[in-house]
Amino acid sequence: MTQMYTYAFFKTPISPLKLSSGIRGCLEIINFQGLSALVETDLKAQDLPDTDEQLIQAILIHDQIIRSVFEQTTLLPLRFGICFPSDIALSEHLALHQQDYLQKLEQFQHKTEYCLQGIPLEPTPVLTQPNSINSSPQRGRDYFLSKKQFHQRQLEYQQQQAQEWQELVGTISQTYPENRFADSQPNRERIYILIDQTQTLQLQDQFNQWQSQSHHWQLSLGDALPPYHFL
């Protein structure tokens, strides 16, 4: 029975798509009543690389294939490692979810996802810890006062940083209501924004404005991607 490693679902294309090679072999398109799946036959999940280097390479190929097809048509990208046991199982899945997938494809028509990332900046000039206690009682009091002032400045900076990010989040949510927030990490914040492709230049202009107003964050805007975080 032929297994189907599956990359993405999309509406059955009117004209042929340009397909590259898959992770190991050739890519094929399976059609079912107006819905199609991009597959690589005879590639099983258990046959995927198990060493870190080879696995990373396979994930990159998976992503590149999805991006290449996304440049040609609207699609629903699948995560790495999705396999169906046969073409019959894949067709049954498409039949079961046909209306839902077609509705999502209509929703994502001409839309693209961008990732806005924020890296918290260190204070400038960097706050430095006060020197060690001197033997003099007066210098000892100065040391503890300096230490208290240091922690106070550090706390104020962190509060300003958090407030600035929340204000940016509010601005983005009002301007681009289709968004998703990644879980916060100690040294990184991420917001995924879904926009119409015609809004790309507008988003770039607004990003430049957001960066100029963000004194406590280093912002970056990623490439145009399929709607990975909106499925």
Instruction: Looking at the structure, tell me whether residues 147 and 199 fall in a common domain.
Output: yes
Tally of domains in the chain: 2
Largest Cα–Cα distance in the chain?
A: 86
Q: Given this model, what pLDDT does residue 184 score?
A: 77
SS3 57: helix
Range of the domain at 75: 4-108
DSSP letter (8 states) at residue 199: G
Which of 187, 192, 196 shows the shortest CA–CA distance to 218?
A: 187
Confirm whether 231 is domain-assigned.
Answer: no
- What's the CATH number where 198 sits? 3.30.70
Indicate whether 30 and 102 sit together in one domain. yes
Of the candidates 231, 210, 206, the residue with the CA atom closest to the CA atom of residue 76: 231
For residue 39, tell me if it sits in a domain. yes
**Any domain includes 211:** yes
Q: Which tokens is 214 given?
A: 């963000």
Residue 133 domain-assigned? no
* 119 and 92 share one domain: no
- H helix or E strand, kind and range, residue 154: helix 137-175
> How far apart (Å, rounded) are the C-alpha atoms in residues 100 and 90?
15
Residue-wise pLDDT tens digits, 92-103: 999 999 999 999
Tell me how many degrees the CA angle 156-160-162 measures, rounded to the nearest 5.
115
Looking at the structure, tell me whether residues 158 and 120 fall in a common domain.
yes
> Cα(49)–Cα(47) distance, rounded to whole angstroms?
6
Strand order in the sheet with 189-196: 179-181, 189-196, 111-120, 217-221
102-156 pLDDT, tens digit per residue, is 999 999 999 999 999 999 998 866 555 555 555 556 566 666 777 777 778 888 8
pLDDT in tens, 171-196: 999 999 999 999 878 789 999 999 99
142 vs 164, higher pLDDT: 164
Contact 35, 26 (CB under 8 A): no
DSSP, collapsed to helix, strand or coil, labels residue 51 as coil
20 and 102 inside one domain: yes
Residues 23 and 89 in one domain: yes
For residues 185 and 203, what is the distance between their CA atoms, to the nearest angstrom? 24
Percent of the chain with pLDDT over 90: 72
